[in-house]
Amino acid sequence: MLNTKLKNASFIPLVLILLSACGGQELEPTRSKGPADLILTNGKIFVADEAFSIVDTLVVNNGLIVATGDSSLSEQFDADEEVDLGGKLVIPGFNDSHTHIRGQPQRYIELGEVTSIEEIQQLITAKIEEIGEGEWITGYGWSEDELDDGRRPLRPDLDAVAPNNPVILTRAGGHSAVTNSLALQLSEITLDTPQPAGGVIEVGEDGQLNGVIRERQNMVGRLVPDSTYGEIIASLEVNLNALLAKGITSITDASKTVDDYEMFEDLYQNNKLALPRSTLQFQWYDAAAINALNARVGEGSDFLKPGAIKVFADGGFTGPAAYTLEPYVDQGEYRGYLNMPEGVLINHLNQIHDAGYQMGIHAIGDAAIVLVVNTLADALERNPRDNHRHYLNHFSMRPPELTMELMAEHEIHITQQPNFTYTLEGRYAENLDGWRLQHNNPLRGPMDHGITVAISSDILPIGPLVGIYAAVTRKGMTGTIYGADEAITMEEAIRAYTALGAYLNFEEDKKGTLEEGKFADMVMLSEDLLSLDPERIMDVEVEKTWIGGSLVYESAAP
């Protein structure tokens, strides 16, 4: 007891000395700072959660977001790097839930930026000089709506510069192509060729083939020689890497084969460039091969995984061939086509549902949407599946109210392309009228019915800001507003292009928002979309892109 008293007595003067040195204030215990790889601070960070939360600071460690909040977080973590955002807006990386990214062979020409038929001809001439006469030439991306000529390129335009090279050039959207005379000759397509089921071989006003084939252009494309593995995988890596400059950190490629998946595996194991996270959909051509792949890879990895099964119900508007309830404008009784006979399509959907797979179903026309939704509703009532997450790709025409009620009841979702309202304005205006023209690519309507609606690009164009612009303004290329009542808010548009795409792929717990515990996939923009004049949306630039907290793209602009 004596020793204890002595010890306590000797401690009292020491405490008094320390308190005196500290001005009479009590000492706070020393706190160790948490580890962090990266801190973003002094910004406007849009979390994209259901509450549309905004924070000032975000902390990353080991690829994951570990904290969000105010600037005091900077004092709580010992970070390898701290980035002062200077008030800039940061949002989750864009998740393009319906796109198509491919490698291209040497014979390919890119037509997405052409502005005239003469420019197309110049590209063909240059390609012939590069690869020689007699070789096939392919290309993708032209659109009559963006050509100064105000019309499509036709067979005589291609013949004029490529009499000795077979040529097939696919329109943006992929639902039609133009070919030259040599390509038609090699394909044995003449005026006497029967019209293909679900497609059209066009005849011009002069009674001759004009070179355009709708939906069934593979009648010609099947003759194009296979590309080499090396040239395809090399260009695929470049094309995937290019998405990072657009702020796209995740994609769902909506039409691939098992062989394509194996190429992606090769690429992701040996890539030299940074790549976005990829989910690949397969068409149900070889069920045994799909089952074997899924058994081998399971849920895949954080960067590559199998996705839903892709089904084509009908055509598109670039043909046009979308399957509609009412006829197209000034085209008699023509209502487009189903991609397969109705009974075959119904059996196809039921087979895939019963096999336990999720489906992403291409349905553009209102008649196709009604048929698909009715079939899915029947399948789900006959064979219920919790959390199936079947969804429709496109949903371009707004169907009857009953159809949307069925979708909400059975939790059938959508990935929508509002950018179509902008880039395909001419196709809609030419083929639709009245209420159905105004309500093309509906957003507010299905959302208000309780349907989950993600936003994606379908590469028309691939830049997310075009889709966001059209989603909030409902404007076409001419500035015309189509169905202002279908517009959504900027916050809703960003969330649809990020969080809801992740939801469609069962990845809402991993990515899509900037919440704690999720991948630090983020984009810093040049301007604040949340307060910007909507007319300036497409002028906004991606300044930085991070995947898993690693900087994978930085613009050259100061």
Beta strands 167-171; 176-179: pairing state: antiparallel
345 and 470 housed in the same domain:
yes
Please, which residues have CB within 8 angstroms of residue 205's CB and are 6 or more apart in sequence?
A: none
Q: Is residue 250 part of a domain?
A: no
Highest mean pLDDT among 55-59, 146-150, 229-233: 55-59
Same domain? For 216 and 339 the reply is: no
Q: Is residue 1 part of a domain?
A: no
Residues 330, 452, single domain; the answer is yes
Residue 18 confidence (pLDDT): 40
Tokens 């690949």, residue located? 280
Structure confidence by residue, pLDDT tens digits, 442-487:
999 999 999 999 999 999 999 999 999 999 999 999 999 999 999 9
Final residue before a domain boundary, out of 195, 221, 247: 221
Instruction: State what percent of residues in the chain have pLDDT above 70.
Output: 94
**Sole residue written with tokens 């067979």:** 155
Query: Is 50 exceeded by the pLDDT of residue 331?
Result: yes
Classify residue 181: in a domain, yes or no.
yes
| Average pLDDT of the chain, as a whole number | 93
Q: Same domain for 348 and 484?
A: yes
Q: pLDDT tens digit string along 504-529?
A: 999 999 999 999 999 999 999 999 99
Predicted confidence at residue 320, as pLDDT, reads 86
Residue 20 placed within a domain: no
Q: Tell me if 112 is assigned to some domain.
A: yes
- Reported as a single tens digit per residue, the pLDDT across 76-123 is 999 999 999 999 999 999 999 999 999 999 999 999 889 999 999 999
- Which of residues 198, 221, 244 is at a domain's end? 221
Among residues 467, 488, 509, the one where a domain terminates is: 488
Alpha helices in 102-207 (DSSP H): 117-131, 155-159, 181-186
Are 444 and 330 part of one and the same domain? yes
Answer with the residue of higher pLDDT: 525 or 172: 525
Residue 22 clears pLDDT 70, i.e. is over it = no
Helix axes 366-382, 342-354, angle to 10 degrees: 40
In a domain, 208, yes or no: yes
Enclosing domain of residue 437: 313-488
Q: Are residues 356 and 479 in the same domain?
A: yes
CATH assignment of the domain containing 419: 3.20.20.140
Q: How far apart are the first and last CA of the chain?
A: 73
Cα separation, 137 vs 121, in Å, equals 12
pLDDT at position 173 is 81
Beta bridge partners of 414: 392, 453
Query: Which structure tokens are listed for 557?
Result: 């602009």
Instruction: Quote the CA–CA distance of 317 and 363 in Å, as a whole number.
Output: 11
Q: What is the mean pLDDT of residues 206-221?
A: 94
Which ranges in 207-286 belong to alpha helices (H)? 218-221, 229-242, 258-270
CA distances from 259 to 100, 269, 370, 428 (A): 16, 16, 33, 36
CA distance 261 to 267: 10
Does one domain contain both 329 and 452?
Answer: yes
The residue with tokens 């009532």 is 381
Do 322 and 461 lie in one domain? The reply is: yes
Question: Model confidence over 346-376: pLDDT tens digits?
Answer: 999 999 999 999 999 999 999 999 999 999 9
In this prediction, residue 15 has a pLDDT band, given cuts at 50, 70 and 90, of very low
**What is the rounded distance in angstroms from the CA atom of residue 475 to the CA atom of residue 478?**
8
Given pLDDT bands bounded at 50, 70 and 90, which one contains residue 318? confident
Residue 273 lies in a domain: no
For residues 341 and 195, membership in a common domain is answered with: no
Residue 233 in this model has a pLDDT that exceeds 50: yes
Surface-to-core class of residue 143, CB atoms within 10 Å of its CB (0-12 exposed, 13-18 middle, 19+ buried): buried
Does residue 460 sit in the same domain as residue 321?
yes
Q: Are 481 and 473 in contact (CB under 8 A)?
A: yes
CA distance linking residue 58 with residue 39, whole number of Å: 6
Count other Cβ atoms within 10 Å, centred on residue 338. 22
CATH number at residue 125: 3.10.310.70
Query: Which amino acid makes up residue 204?
Result: G
Quick one: 372 and 472 in the same domain?
Answer: yes
Name the residue among 492, 423, 410, 496 with its Cα closest to residue 455. Answer: 496
For residue 189, the Cα-to-chain-centroid distance in whole angstroms is 35
pLDDT at 501 over 90: yes
- Per the structure, the count of domains in the chain is 2
What are 47-81's pLDDT values in tens digits? Answer: 999 999 999 999 999 999 999 999 999 999 999 99
Q: Write the Ramachandran bin of 515: left for phi over 0, alpha for psi from -120 to 50, otherwise beta.
A: beta
The edge-to-edge listing of strands for the beta sheet with 77-84 is 64-69, 57-61, 34-41, 77-84
| CA 218 to mean position of chain CA atoms | 24
The answer to whether residue 190 sits within a structural domain is: yes
Does residue 4 surpass a pLDDT of 60? Answer: no
